[in-house]
Amino acid sequence: MSEQTYLKIRNIVGGKEVDPVSGDWIETFDPYLGRPWALIPRCGQADVEAAVAAAHAAFSSGPWSQMKPSQRGKLLRRFAAVMAENAERLAEIEVRDNGKLMAEMSVQCRYAPEWFEYFGGLADKIEGAVIPIDKPEMFNFTKHEPLGVVACIVPWNSPILLLSWKLAAALAAGNTAVIKPSEFASASILELARLFEQAGFPAGVVNTVTGYGNEVGEPLVAHSLVRKVAFTGGEIGGRKVYETAAKHFKGVTLELGGKSPNIVFADANLDNAVKGAISGIFAASGQTCIAGSRLLVQKSIEQEFTQRLVEFAATARMGDPKSLDTQVGPITTQPQYQRVLNYIDIARQEGAKTLLGGGKPDDPALKQGWFVQPTIFCNVRNSMRIAQEEVFGPILSIIPFADDDEAIAIGNDIAYGLAAGVWTSSIARAFKMSDKLQAGTVWVNTYRAVSYMSPFGGYKASGLGRESGQDSIYEFLQTKSVWISFADKVANPFVLR
C-alpha cells in the first residue's frame, strides 16, 4: 500500500501535531469494507517521553498549573460545547474507524460532552475538611490535590465515550493527561484531542500517543512521571497494567470485561424483556463490556420466551453502519472477527444448539466486511466456555433456571461482576436480586442505561475503582493533611508528654 493514498492522522503533543519518532505508521481499517482507510502513528518509548514531558510541564508550570478550579471548570464546560458542535463529525469518523452504527454513534457523541459539562461543574466543589483535632493548640485541615500526569488508556469499542468518562474527571481534578487509544480505532480520539486547543486549553494539558500496547502502552504505564493509570480494556492488558503500576506504586482504575447475566422471570412484562435481552447483546454487535451475554430464563416461560426472542432477533437488519436503517454492524477488528467465529465453533463442540445465526451472513453485499450473524444458543450450561468466557460479539447463550435462588447462584457463578439485568414485576424480587447479584451495576426492567451522574465499574475480575458520578473525581486526587501549631512555644523534645 502506498502511504500517500491514505490520510495520516498525527498525534498531538504539547499542542503540536507530531509524527512518530520511528517514522512508522499503522493502517487503520474500515470494518464494513475490511480495508484500510487511514494511517496512525506507530509510537514507542521516545514518543512516550515527549508526551509525558509535555504533560508534566503543563502540570508543573504554565497557565494550567496556575488556574483556579473554577477557571478549569469553565474551560471544561467550553470544551463540552465545542465537542457538541463537532458531534456529528466525530460520530462519522468513529463509525468509519470502528464500524459502530451511525444511529448509535450520533446519539453517543451528542451525549459524551455531558461528562465534560458535569465534571466541569464539579471542579470547584471539591472541598477539604477542618478536623476537630484532639491536640491542644493545633489546627488541622485537609485539601485534595491533583496527582500529576494521568495516562488514559482506552479500547476500540467506544473510544470517545470511554475516554470522556476518565478524561473529564482527571482534568476537572487538575491533572494533565496522556491518552493512549486503541491501535484498532484511534482516529476519532485524535480528532477529539484537536478540539482542546479550540476550546482554549493550554498546550500540553492533553496529549496523545498511538500504537501497540506493548510498544507504547507499557512504557507509558511504567513512566516515573505518570502518577495514575485509568485503563479500560481486557483482562490480559488490565493485569499487565496493574502489575506494572504496582512496581512503580501508582494508582489504577481498571474497567475490564464482563459476562453479565440478564435474568428474565416469569412475572416480567415479556415484550419489554425480549427487547431488553436483544439490546443487551446485539447492540454494537455485542462488543460492549456490559453485554448481557448470558440470558437466564425462568423454566416455566423458557419455550414461549425463546420463541418470541428468536422471532424478534431474526428481524435485525445487517448492513452499512453509516446507514440509519442498519441495526447490526460489523465486528471492529479482524482478530476479533476470527475470535467470535471461533467461539461459535466452541459452543457447538460443547453441545450448544443454534437457534439463530451461527456464522457469517450469506448476503453478498456483506462479504467484504467483518460481519457475524446475531446468534442465539440454547442447551447451554453455565459451566461451558461459551457461558464463562467473554466473547465480545453478537452471541447470546440461553440458560434456564428454576427460582430466585438458582438465578442468583448462576448469575454469580462467574469470574466477572460488571453488570446484571433483572426483568420482573415484583418489587420485592427487584430489591432482593439487586442486593444479591455481585455486579457493579444492576438494571431492573431496563438494560444498558448509563449516565455521567451514576458510578460505573466492576466487581471481581471486572475491575477496580469507579468512573462517573461525583465520587469518581477522587480517583484522580490525593488528600493532604496540613497541621498548623499556634502554640507560642515548641515543647522540649526530650520531655515526653
- For ligand NAD, the binding residues (CB under 6 A) are 153-157, 162, 180-183, 213-214, 217-218, 221, 232-234, 237, 240-241, 255-258, 289, 390, 392, 418, 458, 463
Catalytic residue among 43, 152, 289, 378: 289
Distance CA 171, CA 450 (A): 21
At its nearest, how many Å lie between ligand NAD and the CB of residue 62?
Answer: 27
For residue 464, give the H/E element and its range: strand 463-464
Eight-class DSSP state of 365: G
Distance CA 189, CA 30 (A): 16
φ, ψ dihedrals at 439, nearest 5°: -155, 150
> 6: burial class by Cβ within 10 Å (0-12, 13-18, 19+)?
middle
For this structure, is 289 an active site residue? yes
Q: Are 394 and 413 in contact (CB under 8 A)?
A: no
Q: Are 146 and 172 in contact (CB under 8 A)?
A: no
H helical segments located in 126-176: 159-172
- Closer to ligand NAD by CB, 161 or 347: give it: 161
- Closer to ligand NAD by CB, 152 or 268: give it: 152
For this structure, is 378 an active site residue? no
- Closer to ligand NAD by CB, 257 or 261: give it: 257
What residues contact 176, with CB distance under 8 A and at least 6 apart? 55, 56, 58, 59, 64, 148, 149, 150, 204, 205, 206, 207
Cell of 462: 471486572
- Closer to ligand NAD by CB, 291 or 355: give it: 291
Place of cell 502554640: 487
- Closer to ligand NAD by CB, 213 or 411: give it: 213
Angular region, 465: left φ>0, alpha ψ -120 to 50, beta rest: left
At its nearest, how many Å lie between ligand NAD and the CB of residue 304?
Answer: 32
Catalytic residue among 255, 390, 467, 475: 255
At its nearest, how many Å lie between ligand NAD and the CB of residue 226?
Answer: 11
At its nearest, how many Å lie between ligand NAD and the CB of residue 22?
Answer: 16
At its nearest, how many Å lie between ligand NAD and the CB of residue 456?
Answer: 7
Residues with catalytic function: 255, 289
